Chains A and B, each alone.
Chain A
Amino acid sequence: MGRIFQEQGKSDEAIAEFKKVLEVDSENLMAHSLLGSIFLAQGDYQTAIEEYQQILSLNPDDESAQSSLKQAIEKAAGDAKPKETAKPSAAAEPAAKDPQGTGSVTLGELYLKQGHFDKAIEVFQELLAKDPQNLMLRQKLSEVMEKQQKEAAISGGATSKLKKNDFTQPPDQKEDVITEEVKADQKKQPRPKKEDDSKFTSEDILQVMRRGGKDDAVVEEKKPAEAPKPAAKEPNASDKKTKPEEPKAVPAVALKAEQIDRFKDILAELGTIEGIQRCFLIGNDGINVVSIGETSNNADLGKQAVAIFQSTHRSVSQLNQGKLQQVLVTADSGNILLVSLEQLVLIVLANDKINLGLLRITLDNVMKKMGKLI
Chain B
Amino acid sequence: MPNPPEGSVPLTWDAEILAALLAEIGVSHVVTLPDNTSAPLLEAISLRADLRLLLGTREGEVISLAAGLWLGGCSPMVIIQNTGLLEAGDSLRGTASRMGAPLLMFVTCRGYEKSRTLGREPGDVEVTRDLLVRSDLDSVAHMTESTLRAWGIPFLFLRDPADLDTVRDAWKRAHEEERPVALLLDTSFTQGPRDHGLG
Report whether chain A binds chain B. no
